[in-house]
Amino acid sequence: MNLAISNASDFTRWTPPAAALTLSDVTSIPTPPRAGHRPITRTFHDEDVTDNYEWLRDKDDAEVIALLDEENAYTDARTAHLKPLQDKIFGEIKSRTKETDLAVPVLDTGWWYYSRTIEGQQYPIYARVRDTGARPELVAGEAIDGEQILVDGPTLAEGEEFFRLGAFETAPGGNLLAYAVDTSGDERFDLVIKDLQTDEIIDDAIRGIGYGVAFTLEPTHVYYVRVNEAWRPHQVWCHEIGADPNTDELVFQEDDERFWMGMGASRDNRHIVIQLGSSTTGEAHLIDASDSAARPVCIAPRRAGLDYSVEAAADHLLITHNAQHIGFEVARAPLGVAPEDTWQTVLAPAAGERILGADAFESVAVISMRSAGVTTLRILERAEDGSYGEAWDVPTEGEVRTIEIGTNPRPDAREIRYSLASLIIPPSVCEVSLDTRESVVLKQTEVLGGYDPADYTERRIWVEARDGTRIPVSLVARADVTPDGSNPGLLYGYGSYEISIDPSFVISRLSLLDRGVVFAIAHIRGGGEMGRQWYDDGKLDRKLNTFTDFIDVGRYLVESGWVDPARLGAEGGSAGGLLMGAITNMAPELWRVVHAAVPFVDALTTILNPELPLTVGEWEEWGNPIEDEAIYRLMRSYSPYENIAEADYPAILATTSLNDTRVFFVEPLKWVQRLRETVTSDQDERPILLRCQMVAGHGGKSGRYDAWHERAEQLAFILDQLGIED
């Protein structure tokens, strides 16, 4: 690869006017910030491509930070007229939220664990009370007798612009707690170990770890995961609590850059499971948690295309794998080394089913799966001889709902906790009895202000894509909204990594629905909603299906009358942000407004640079354009930054964070620069804006009130462009 860098620098600065701006006063609309051209030429497959904005990648460059500050000031100015609407939406979110609240307590090792929030505080408090034989009757806002505070989020976050926990693990016996803290948003955490008998911090010397912490059975040691320079989890270390971290022992290292690592304790705490995986291949290792000197044992060596994950029970393994079925199956295998020929099928998928994973308990296994695109929990009963027999599904109703297994730390549980929600039904924490098979709702999230699900309707519709494939769509609207061709609409999508965007209830979405907006989720190919084949049909050389599916759903919403053709918006984040960039280039006339959150819009540049975080592991998702010219040409044809057209575009809001490790801020920053200099639409009427959070990560701001303000700003921009002023 040849890089030719010019010395040109014509960086210009913009100073916002002192007075507030209104769009009706055209003369007061400021000029958007413009970065200077500093051409860099890349050469692959005999093609030279010049990039004028790649120099913006360096966040240590004072000019780059100045440009981001100017972008934020410009966005402030262009949205100043929306401040009343932003404040109103924030007030709606706040007024519908029970700010002082309690989570449902979870029983483990003689204690009931829970979190609680306090009105006015950004972060929760994590606490516990002793078990007295029954679930405690806790009341939000009232003093809790015998409460022990484990982590005081508001106190720990004092003075920090960002605060997030990456681990929260109690040791076997319940006397120690390990938690990990990120105060920048880069998802690198500092580990803290607390003695819960004395309430003293006994170890806080380990810095910059990744996700994954587990104690040994006798909690003298703790295992943790380290990430490499590319933010790939690649090592497991064992640390003696209280000892010098320089004496920590490297337990496992994964050198293949395609593979990611997860690590955690089994439900009975007897084993530590190291799970490795690329997009297509899995491998797992087991550590005896009773011996801090034990070394990982490989369960079954990796084989290209064999994707498997492991759940360790007391006397066997449950392995979810795709050796025989594209929909995966669950097999039983002996503890320890368990080559494929020892795997005995426990549950095979029926047509239209995709098995996702297993949770092992003493008397049952709970299988998380999808059936006809809908989430399902299937219970496998264990007979007296330990074999698995009768299977039954936890009963639910409707196609537009999501059921997921909840927090169940006890292997001997006779009630299995799960969550249930839909687009209009607030999340419920439920328990199903293994004895009666009946479920009870322990708590449903309370939505204040007189919320009534009957005021809204939700439905599953199927849209025929251009190649004849039927695309499922989840749609919600106010009950009095009809498909008469006059409604504003917002279409959401993702479509990558076999991640499913299942129906869920979001309080802030009510601010759209109550203003007559039709909201829909397009469950497009590349996601996992319809199984592994659905994912395969939206990746690599079939990636274009993801984008055309979304466009076809958008056109259906217009043609069916659900949405006014002049009032359709689109929204997606991360890989869904790439989707936003692609569909904007491919069908700019279809959208009135697009919100691209932490968008992966400079995909080809990133995937061509194996030194950047995540790149090598992404080659199984997108292809390797360095070695494969056909993949290079394909990515070159859809990578949003490289395909902006001289055409009228929708209004665009790109949102990002300076410390985002997953999608660097430079991608949306470059994108908006090139958009502004290329598109032919009136940018006074359809602005192209960037909002960069200067101390945050991939998920944006961390405090709940800050996050509500952030979402209110986004929704106000969308509503304004859809013609809704109040």
| Separation between Cα atoms, residue 361 and residue 387, nearest integer Å | 13
Three-state DSSP class for residue 447: strand
282-288, strands of its sheet edge to edge: 260-265, 271-277, 282-288, 297-298
DSSP designation for 246: G
CB 494, CB 501: distance < 8 Å? yes
The yes-or-no answer on residue 698 being catalytic is yes
| Separation between Cα atoms, residue 652 and residue 584, nearest integer Å | 9
- Looking from the CA of 240 toward its CB, the CA atoms found within 13 Å total 9
3-state helix, strand, coil in the chain (%, to 5): 20, 35, 45
Three-state DSSP class for residue 540: helix
Per annotation, catalytic residue among 278, 698, 702, 720? 698
Looking at residue 414, its amino acid is: R
| Separation between Cα atoms, residue 253 and residue 249, nearest integer Å | 11
| Separation between Cα atoms, residue 26 and residue 31, nearest integer Å | 11
| Separation between Cα atoms, residue 597 and residue 692, nearest integer Å | 10
Q: For the chain, how big is the Rg over CA atoms in Å?
A: 26
310 Cβ contact list (under 8 Å, min separation 6): 273, 275, 284, 286, 299, 317, 318, 319, 320
Three-state DSSP class for residue 150: strand
The yes-or-no answer on residue 702 being catalytic is no
Per annotation, catalytic residue among 504, 511, 574, 702? 574
| Separation between Cα atoms, residue 231 and residue 143, nearest integer Å | 42
CB 581, CB 649: distance < 8 Å? no
Looking at residue 671, its amino acid is: W
Per annotation, catalytic residue among 248, 549, 660, 720? 660
| Separation between Cα atoms, residue 38 and residue 428, nearest integer Å | 54
Q: Where are the alpha helices (DSSP H) in 603-696?
A: 603-607, 615-622, 629-638, 666-678
DSSP designation for 417: E
| Separation between Cα atoms, residue 115 and residue 506, nearest integer Å | 20
Q: Where are the alpha helices (DSSP H) in 97-157?
A: 153-156
| Separation between Cα atoms, residue 402 and residue 569, nearest integer Å | 25
| Separation between Cα atoms, residue 610 and residue 602, nearest integer Å | 14
Looking at residue 359, its amino acid is: D
**Phi, psi angle pair for 369, to nearest 5°:** -155, 175
Which residue has 């204040």 as its token pair?
A: 448
Tell me how long the chain is: 726
322 Cβ contact list (under 8 Å, min separation 6): 305, 306, 307, 308, 328, 329, 532
**Phi, psi angle pair for 104, to nearest 5°:** -70, 125
Catalytic residues: 574, 660, 698
